[in-house]
Amino acid sequence: MKFRIYRYDPEKDGAPRLQEYDVALADTDRMLLDALVRLKAVDETLSFRRSCREGVCGSDAMNINGKNGLACTTNLRELREPVELRPLPGLPVVRDLIVDMSQFFKQYHSIRPYLVNDTPPPEKERLQSPEDREELDGLYECILCACCSTACPSFWWNPDKFVGPAGLLQAYRFVADSRDQAINGRLDDLEDPYRLFRCYSIMNCADVCPKGLNPNKAIAKIKDLLVKRAV
């Protein structure tokens, strides 16, 4: 199978380049990550992140034939050749397919990604109805792979000021939690021309999410709550 892979080692390369590979695959090689592991056995310099190989850890997000996705859950048979692999767009490249995710995590940390509830907890669990719990479905499953935020033009332009779809999805995960007491503070923090309102519903986020989540929908709900709060 033929590949064209973005290569850049700051110690050796003045500029990034695309390297062609042709690799013989085994019958058991099913996913793109299997092919990458096979390539690395031949060329140890090829660098990428990977861990769980089943789509829950979020390590191996990359740009695959122009679209962000996880190498471990992308079936090789669905890929047009030569398969072109590039690092996630919009973040600084450390080496090859490895990007510096600091800015992405900084935005995630900025939304206070933890439950706020200052009432002393009961001896047992805090009760939550199944209906209230259902509000968290489609939100808590995020694996922080950054496919969505790095597919978002608004995040490309303002990664320092716009929270981005992944961070906003998590912001809404806590707004929507019946146990959280900081909803007003959370909304105040997002009522800002950049942090929330740089989202123009381009919908790339929902299009690329490997877990089938829809950040755009969560963002719309935050906007709704802001409107309701204003009137």
Partner 1 sequence: MALPVRRFDVIVVGAGGSGMRASLQLAEAGLSVAVLSKVFPTRSHTVAAQGGIGASLGNMSEDSWLWHMYDTIKGSDWLGDQDAIEFMCRMAPKVVYELEHFGMPFDRNPDGTIYQRPFGGHSANFGEKPVQRACAAADRTGHAMLHTLYQRNVRARTQFFVEWMALDLVRAADGEVLGVVAYEMETGEVMVLQAKATVFATGGAGRIFAASTNAFINTGDGLGMAARAGIPLEDMEFWQFHPTGVAGAGVLITEGVRGEGGILLNCNGERFMERYAPNLKDLASRDVVSRSMDQEIKEGRGCGRNKDHVLLKLDHLGPEVINKRLPSIREIAIKFANVDPIREPIPVVPTIHYMMGGIPTNIHGQVVAPSGGDPNAVVPGFYAVGECSCVSVHGANRLGTNSLVDLLVFGRSAGDFIVAQHLDRAAHRELPKDAGDLALSRLARIDTNAGGEGTAAIARDLRDAMQAHCGVFRNHELLSEGVRKVLEIEQRAQKVTLGDRSRTFNTARVEALELDNLVETAKATIVSAAARRESRGAQARSDFPERDDREWLKHTLWYREGNRLDYKPVNLKPLSVEAFPPKARTY
Q: Give contact residues for partner 1 (rule: CB under 8 A).
A: 9-12, 28, 30, 40-41, 43-45, 47-59, 73, 75, 94-96, 98, 101, 105, 109, 112-115, 117, 121, 123-130, 132-133, 136, 140-141, 143-144, 174, 177, 179-180
For the CB of residue 227, give the shortest distance to partner 1 in the complex, in Å.
27
For the CB of residue 137, give the shortest distance to partner 1 in the complex, in Å.
8
Query: For residues 93 and 202, which CB has a smaller minimum distance to partner 1 in the complex?
Result: 93
Query: For residues 10 and 185, which CB has a smaller minimum distance to partner 1 in the complex?
Result: 10
Distance CA 26, CA 77 (A): 13
Q: How far apart are the first and last CA of the chain?
A: 59
Query: For residues 51 and 201, which CB has a smaller minimum distance to partner 1 in the complex?
Result: 51
Distance CA 84, CA 102 (A): 25
For the CB of residue 38, give the shortest distance to partner 1 in the complex, in Å.
9
Query: For residues 15 and 28, which CB has a smaller minimum distance to partner 1 in the complex?
Result: 28
Distance CA 62, CA 5 (A): 11
Whether the Cβ atoms of residue 111 and residue 171 lie closer than 8 Å to each other: yes
Cα separation values, 100 from 29, 85, 92, 103, Å: 29, 17, 5, 8
Provide CB contacts within 8 A for 111, sequence distance 6+.
Answer: 163, 167, 168, 170, 171, 174, 186, 189, 190
Amino acid identity of 224?
A: D
For the CB of residue 3, give the shortest distance to partner 1 in the complex, in Å.
18
Query: For residues 3 and 8, which CB has a smaller minimum distance to partner 1 in the complex?
Result: 8
For the CB of residue 52, give the shortest distance to partner 1 in the complex, in Å.
5
